[in-house]
Copies of this chain bind each other. A is one copy, B any other.
Amino acid sequence: MSKRQVIKEKPIIKGKQVTSRGEEDYIKAIYKLSDEAEGERVTNHQLAVYFAHTAQTVNEMVRKLEKKEMLVYQPYKGSVLTTLGMEEAVRLIRAHRIWETFLTDKLGYAWEEVHEEAEMLEHLTSTKLADKLYAFLGAPEVCPHGNYIPALSDLKRDDLDTCGRLKLSKAKKGKQYCLKSVVDDKALLVYLNSLNIYIDLCFKIIERDLVSDIVTLTYDGRNTPLSGAVAQKLFVCEVYDAEDNA
């Protein structure tokens, strides 16, 4: 009999639930994959590999997102996000990086621990929450891995990750660099911890062996060799050190 207050649960985002978690993950993936190489379009095959989903599943998701006008799909060519899709992607990446920053800066998480948590939290983050968190963090420029935290209006992805930065694998012997960002890959981050390498570390390249594909850095008074695979995941900018110019 007790006519208790009726509670409608599961408003997963805010009110109308426009995009599900799965859809959001696809949008983000397309955004990220769309300029990892240089090709504009992201093929279904790329998505299938990325998510370890079947071709059928990818096709279904892509078609669904197309219907929602988040992307334009051309069979045998791939998908391009619409402006709507880009906005969604940027909203998610912004939330992701804000959470990562919160977890490390405020709660003391290590940089290799935050990605998974952020991967979940980003999907429950209203614009209001993201903005309040961002302000609370003091409007940080970058996440713990050095990637820019975009504003909602920053749809140009070129600016986001590698803006003006150089892959360490393309850096030159004899010059000095400062580490600006790293790929958010747990194994890599743990490895970098073990070498005492972190964002804003400055070092000099003392060797580049093209045959063995190894770059050797100097910092903290010792030499550290890095494989090409690792060097490809680190982004640096050149440092013009006065004392070194002499």
- What is the interface of chain A, defined by CB distance below 8 A to chain B? 2-12, 21-22, 25, 37, 46, 49-52, 103, 106-109, 116-117, 119-121, 124, 126, 129, 132-133, 136, 185
| Contact indicator A9/B129 (Cβ below 8 Å) | no
| Contact indicator A49/B121 (Cβ below 8 Å) | no
| Contact indicator A50/B4 (Cβ below 8 Å) | yes
Nearest residue in B to A117 (C-beta to C-beta)?
B129
- Given A107-B133, A132-B108, A132-B109, is A52 in contact with B119 using a C-beta cutoff of 8 Å? no
| Contact indicator B12/A50 (Cβ below 8 Å) | no
| Contact indicator A107/B136 (Cβ below 8 Å) | yes
**CA of A129 to CA of B121 in the docked complex: distance in angstroms?**
12
| Contact indicator B108/A49 (Cβ below 8 Å) | no
Cβ 8 A contact of A50, one of B7, B49, B124, B136: B7
Copies per assembly: 2
| Contact indicator B4/A116 (Cβ below 8 Å) | no
Q: Nearest 8 CB-CB pairs, A to B? A: A107-B132, A120-B124, A6-B52, A4-B49, A9-B25, A107-B136, A4-B50, A106-B136
A211 CB to nearest B CB, Å: 24
Extra A-B contacts (4), CB below 8 Å, given A7-B50, A124-B124: A4-B46, A11-B120, A107-B132, A107-B136
Cβ 8 A contact of A2, one of B22, B49, B51: B49
| Contact indicator B21/A10 (Cβ below 8 Å) | yes
**CA of A109 to CA of B46 in the docked complex: distance in angstroms?**
41
A189 CB to nearest B CB, Å: 14
Nearest residue in B to A106 (C-beta to C-beta)?
B136
**CA of A136 to CA of B106 in the docked complex: distance in angstroms?**
7
- Residues in chain B near residue A7, CB distance under 8 A: 50-52
| Contact indicator A11/B49 (Cβ below 8 Å) | no
| Contact indicator A12/B120 (Cβ below 8 Å) | yes
- Residues in chain B near residue A106, CB distance under 8 A: 136
Cβ 8 A contact of A9, one of B51, B103, B117: B51
| Contact indicator A49/B124 (Cβ below 8 Å) | no
A77 CB to nearest B CB, Å: 16
